[in-house]
Amino acid sequence: MLRKSLNLCLLIAVAVSVAVSVGAQQAPKLPKLVDLGSTTCIPCKQMAPILEELKTELAGKIDVEFVNVNTQPALTDKYRIEVIPTQVFLDASGKELFRHEGFYAKAAILAKWTELGFNVATAAPASFSRWTAAQPDARAKDAVCYMCDGDVNPKSAVVVKTAKGDVHLCSPHCLSIMLSSLTTDRAEVEQQAFVTDFATGQSVPLQAASYLYSFDEQTGRPSVMVFASRDAALAARRDNGGSVLTYPLLKNKEMASRCGFCDRAVYPEDAAVVKAGGVYTYGCCSHCALGVAARTGASVEIHERDRLTGEPIIVKTLEGQIASLEPATAVAWYGQRTKPDGKRVSAGCFHQGFFVSAENLQKWVEAHPLETGEMISIAKALADKMALSPEQISKACKIGECAPK
Ligand SMILES: [Zn+2]
Ligand SMILES: [Zn+2]
């Protein structure tokens, strides 16, 4: 009955469909996707927006039907299901081709129809990539931050002396990120690290300096100024406010918030928020946020911002697949570098991001001439993370380890 009244609505709304709907007894012979579930079970509810999207996108190609097992017992009996939700794939004659039990991601449903020999291609997916920087990086090596690739301001520079030469960093925060990405002895690196006195430009051992720690009033992001002497830091506090900290106290603050995937130190203001199995954590970049699903095995909810406009993007996963995407047009930038041997590797967390649309992504890449990589779907970004082994996850984003995909 429900089905008939639905056809009736279509009759009124869409003149074109009249001819098709009138002969509903014999035709229309379209293949059909039937999702059997309820309005209360969680994976059933996760299926609802997917079914709505498929209904629109596959109109005229494949019928999409939801059967509520609580109110449509006859249809439920017909399909003899054992669990909800179950998705049944039928050909145009009504013959069952395939069935799947549990939550089923949209991309996986479309892939299954394709595998079964049906053309479900919607509009060609937009693609965008850039493999050569739009301009050469003319900066001197000591003017580029080893962690974030940002410019090193001589007034806040950090230098770490190593056997292979000096490592230049833009700020104490990038040093914290570096320290949290090491699998080797961190204490040794700290002993070889030198920060810059804000007042004089002098180099000061990391552990001997005083740090004026305050918060940016606009963003709430921590701000760290470095001084050779505690008196100079206290004097600066009179103008700037904040707290004067020794290095161990600064380090406690810097290391307090971590990426739930790669363990890197993060400022929450820079990070994606990830809810995983009822616990809140961060993603130091959007791809790491997806990685939390792979590392924890939990379904996650990610709150990220478009890197161009700051617009919110919400990604929910279920059993390692995308359950919902807000907005549905959101895409991921997968920043990559081409190594001398031609192999492409991840360009690191600072070069990844989500965007509300392909247009925003393209604008952002155009505004950042040194970025190289490609646009991928968020479903692909998640699938790449879910394919990682526990060992690859433990090495993810660690300095000196092979960069996993
Ligand atoms: Zn940096
Ligand atoms: Zn991370």
Q: Model confidence at 269, in pLDDT bands (50, 70, 90)?
A: very high
Question: How many CB atoms sit inside 10 A of residue 324's CB?
Answer: 18
Instruction: Report d(CA 388, CA 108) in Å as an integer.
Output: 19
Q: Name the more confident of 125 and 226.
A: 226
Confidence of residue 12 (pLDDT cuts 50, 70, 90): very low
Tell the residue number behind the tokens 């600064």, with chain if given. Answer: 250
Question: At residue 11, does pLDDT exceed 70?
Answer: no
**Alpha carbon of residue 293 to chain centroid:** 10
Summarize pLDDT for 198-237 with one digit per residue, the tens.
Answer: 999 999 999 999 999 999 999 999 999 999 999 999 999 9
Q: What percent of the chain has pLDDT over 70?
A: 91
Pick from 108, 85, 87, 126: nearest CA to 379: 108
Compute the distance from residue 382 Cα to the ligand 2 centre, in Å: 14
Distance from Cα 176 to the centre of ligand 1, integer Å: 10
pLDDT(15) > 50: no
Name the residue type at position 221: R
Q: What distance in angstroms lies between residue 393's CA and the mean position of ligand 2's atoms?
A: 10
**Cα–ligand 2 centroid distance for 25 (angstroms):** 56
Helix axes 106-115, 42-57, angle to 10 degrees: 60
372 CB contacts (<8 Å, ≥6 apart)? 130, 131, 132, 133, 335, 336, 337, 338, 347
pLDDT, residue 92, reads 92
The rounded Å distance from CA 290 to ligand 2 centre is 10
Q: Worst-scoring range by mean pLDDT, 19-23, 44-48, 59-63, 92-96?
A: 19-23
**CA–CA dist 168, 174 (Å, integer):** 10
Which comes out higher in pLDDT, residue 250 or 19?
A: 250
Token pair belonging to 85: 């939700």
Q: What average pLDDT does the chain have? A: 89
Cα of 144 to ligand 1 centre, how many Å?
A: 8
Place of tokens 């707290």: 243
Give the ligand at the shortest distance from the Cα of 148: 1
- At 367, the pLDDT band (50, 70, 90 cuts) reads very high
Amino acid identity for residue 127 in this structure: S
For 326, the token pair is 């807000």
Give the predicted TM-score (pTM) of the model.
0.74
* CA of residue 46 to ligand 1 center, whole Å: 39
Buried/exposed code over 127-137 (b: 16+ C-beta within 10 A; e: otherwise): eeebeeeeeee
Q: Which tokens go with 134?
A: 């739009």
* 9 pLDDT tier (thresholds 50, 70, 90): very low
Q: Specify the pLDDT at position 27.
A: 55
**Which residues are found with C-beta within 5 Å of the ion, ligand 1?**
145, 147-148, 150, 170, 174
Say how far apart CA 56 and CA 79 lie, in whole Å: 24
Tokens in use for 65? 């039907």
Domain ranges of the chain: 23-115, 141-254, 258-395
Q: How far is the CA of 173 from the centre of ligand 1 (A)?
A: 7
Give distance in angstroms: CA of 285 to centre of ligand 2: 6
Distance between CA atoms of 246 and 248, rounded to whole angstroms? Answer: 6
Superfamily in which the 23-115 domain is placed by CATH = Glutaredoxin (3.40.30.10)
Q: What is the predicted pLDDT for the residue at 119?
A: 81
Q: Which residues surround ligand 2, an ion (CB under 5 A)?
A: 259, 261-262, 264, 284, 288
pLDDT at 1 over 80: no
AA identity, residue 159:
V
307: tokens are 């890197």
Give 7 Cα–ligand 2 centroid separation in angstroms.
50
User: Which residue bears the tokens 């080893």?
Assistant: 146
Alpha helix stretches (DSSP H) within 39-184: 42-57, 73-79, 106-115, 172-180
CATH class as words, domain 258-395: alpha beta
Lowest mean pLDDT among 27-31, 98-102, 154-158, 317-321: 27-31
Distance 170 CA to ligand 1 centre (A): 4
- Distance between Cα 260 and ligand 2 center (Å): 7
Q: How far away, in angstroms, is 148 Cα from ligand 2 center?
A: 13
Distance, CA of 315 to CA of 304 (rounded, Å): 8
Give the ligand with the smallest distance to the CA of 288: 2
Distance (Å) from CA 264 to ligand 2 centroid: 6
